[in-house]
Amino acid sequence: MKTSIRAVNGFRVWDSRGRPTVEVELVLESGITGRGIAPSGASCGSNEAVDLRDGGASYGGYGVARALENVAHLISPALVGLDAMCQASVDARLIELDASSTRDKVGGNALIATSMAVLHAAAETTGKPLWSHLAEGRAISMPLPEVQIFGGGAHAGRRVDVQDFLVMPVGASTFDEALCICADIYRIAGECMEARGGRMGVADEGGWWPNFSSNEEALQVLTGAIERAGYGNGEAMISLDIAASGLYKDGYYRLAMEDRQFDSDAWLDLVCSWVAKYPILSIEDPVAEDDVLGMRKFTDVLGDKIQIIGDDYLVTNVDRVSQAITDGCCNAVLIKPNQVGTITEAKATLDRARDAGWGTVISARSGESEDVTITHLAIGWNAGQLKVGSFSRSERMAKWNEALRIERGGAATKAFSGLGALPIKVRAGQEDAQASGRRSRVAR
Ligand code: PGA
Ligand code: ZN
């Protein structure tokens, strides 16, 4: 059969941190090829698929020789002869090779690069762009972008404890306009940082390198930048990724830069005070990955006002999402395909969350490449939001620019999700706020 897999070849390429990563090139009997490059995280959940590294002295321990051996000796023999048009069966075969929840035998990096390559080969066979192959003719809306303005946490030497300070351009009416708003805020925030003095530069995802004396000061500067850029009337709101697992130890949340620590209740009070003072519309991982009680309290208090995203808390795992729905924890999911290992599992997790009325955010990792698969996943799967880091560094811009190309490509991608991207209850509250006159048109 022409669409049968003839060969699965793994190669070492390099990521945006200059570390090795896995590239898989898949060849079909027809001669058509598909390629995928594994991304990699720096602040990983302990329940996510393992990024298999060699350890030892070479490449700082980040070598991927073992993962590539697994592509050659485990994955390739298992996949040759399978029909690439049947993603679910190919992914099921991959899962059979390593059914452990963290995929530490074969490696999440080997698995996801392969699963992505299969998807690309199938789309190429249909002659359609990947997003269109995935959309299967269904109506879609372009996702709301979340753009990082300041980097922090594990991506910036912990110079500020909160990992990501982002903006959500909810007042935009097209994806293109949404990026224009983010570009303005990114530029003005850079000017604010320059005026403050100190080192200029960017963190791992391209956000400005943090130079603050407290986490709250970063919120003040970001709020000021949004206002100075002219979007202080609700058109652009703040999104935080606290990545709180990295702050949690022995029952306390610790802000190292401020030398302060908080028990679960005091921590909740602090984060709620930020939400009350600043235009925050979304918070990711406000509590540690296993702090179910904390997440439930947080969702009880804020779940109908802001989006509460589980990243390390949910690790793109359908069972963890189901459990969180039952527990009343979170109202949105972050989908990072390499956290789970295959495209099919990532889609199942997204569907489960969407069916519950949750927000859905497709996300890159802090270690990325020129691979733009996730842009196509966000659009083709009709996810509400896309988060790929900041507004600099080409591994980020490649993904934003690919979305612009898709948006201008035809009638199918003219709609924009905007506020519709938010979880159902939060959306209703925001629409009320806009109806009461908070929103004014973007002047451009
Ligand atoms: P990571 O960070 O890719 O380093 O895990 C991204 C995030 O936490 O959202
Ligand atoms: Zn995160």
pLDDT in tens, 146-205: 999 999 999 999 999 999 999 999 999 999 999 999 999 999 999 999 999 977 899 999
Helix axes 343-355 and 87-97, enclosed angle (nearest 10): 110
User: Does residue 433 have a pLDDT over 80?
Assistant: no
Whether residue 210 sits in one domain with residue 286: yes
Q: What is the mean pLDDT of residues 400-415?
A: 90
Side-chain-side CA neighbours of 208 within 13 Å: the count stands at 27
Query: Does residue 287 belong to any structural domain of this protein?
Result: yes
pLDDT of residue 414: 83
Confidence of residue 410 (pLDDT cuts 50, 70, 90): confident
CA distance 309 to 321: 11
333, 314 in Cβ contact below 8 A? yes
Model's pTM, two decimal places?
0.97
In this predicted model, what pLDDT tens digit does every residue of 307-331 receive, in sequence order? 999 999 999 999 999 999 999 999 9
pLDDT band for 409, please (50, 70, 90 cuts): confident
CATH code for the domain of 288:
3.20.20.120
- Whether residues 65 and 170 share a domain: the answer is no
Residue 134 resides in a domain: no
Q: Is residue 135 part of a domain?
A: no
Range in 37-46, 163-172, 395-404, 432-441 with the lowest mean pLDDT: 432-441
Cα angle: 84, vertex 66, 74; to 5 degrees: 40
In angstroms, the CA 402 to CA 192 distance is 29
Residue where a domain terminates, one of 102, 127, 152: 127
Locate 295 and state its tokens. Answer: 């997440």
Question: Do 92 and 174 belong together in one domain?
Answer: no
- Buried b / exposed e along 250-285 (16+ C-beta atoms within 10 A): eeebbbebeeebbebeebbeebeebbeebbbbbbbb
CB of 245 within 6 A of ligand 1: the answer is no
> CB of 304 within 8 A of CB of 278?
no
Other Cβ atoms less than 10 A from the Cβ of 408: the count is: 12
Do strands 280-284 and 237-241 pair parallel, antiparallel, or not at all (unpaired)? parallel
C-alpha to C-alpha distance for 431 and 281, rounded to whole angstroms = 13
The structure tokens listed for 285 are 């991982």
For residue 435, what pLDDT band results from cuts at 50, 70 and 90? low
pLDDT digits (tens, 9 = 90+) for 73-117: 999 999 999 999 999 999 999 999 998 989 999 999 999 999 999
Closest listed residue to residue 130, CA positions, set 120, 140, 138: 120
Token representation of residue 291: 């702090």
In angstroms, rounded to a whole number, what is the distance separating the alpha carbons of residues 320 and 223? 34
- For residues 117 and 157, state if they share a domain: no
Which burial class, exposed, middle or buried, applies to 435 when counting CB atoms under 10 A from its CB (0-12, 13-18, 19+)? Answer: exposed
Pocket test for ligand 1, best of 146, 148, 311 (most atoms within 8 A of CB): 311
Kindly state whether residues 307 and 419 are assigned to the same domain.
yes
CA–CA separation, 118 and 24 (whole Å) = 9
CATH number of the domain bearing residue 13: 3.30.390.10
Supply the range of the domain harboring residue 121: 5-127
pLDDT at position 431, please?
Answer: 80
Q: Is residue 132 part of a domain?
A: no
Q: Tell whether 422 and 304 lie within a shared domain.
A: yes
**Residue 5 beta carbon below 6 angstroms from any ligand 1 atom:** no
Q: Does 136 map to a domain?
A: no
Nearest to 280 by CA among 396, 420, 164, 442: 164
Question: Best mutation site among 62, 313, 363 for ligand 1, i.e. most ligand atoms within 8 A of its Cβ?
Answer: 363
| Domain endpoint, select from 69, 94, 127 | 127
> What pLDDT is attached to residue 436?
61
pLDDT score at 341 = 97
> What is the DSSP code (8-state) at residue 64?
-
Residue 52 domain-assigned? yes
H/E element, 254: strand 252-255
pLDDT confidence of residue 411: 72
164 shares a domain with 197: yes
- Same-domain check for residues 226 and 367: yes
Do 49 and 173 share a domain, yes or no?
no
Within-domain flag for 296: yes
| Inside any domain, residue 137 | no
Number of domains the chain contains: 2
The reply to whether ligand 1 has any atom less than 6 angstroms from the CB of 311 is yes
State the pLDDT confidence band at 413, using cuts at 50, 70 and 90. Answer: confident
Q: What is the mean pLDDT of residues 274-283?
A: 98
Ligand 1 atom closest to 364 (CA): 3
Last residue of a domain, one of 94, 127, 160: 127
Q: What are phi and psi of 134, to 5 degrees?
A: -75, -35
Residue 432 has pLDDT above 80, yes or no: no
pLDDT for 199 equals 74
Are 214 and 312 contained in the same domain? yes
203 and 253 housed in the same domain: yes
> Is residue 441 very low, low, confident or very high in pLDDT (cuts 50, 70, 90)?
very low
Q: Which ligand is nearest to the CA of 339?
A: 1
Assess whether 184 and 104 both reside in one domain.
Answer: no
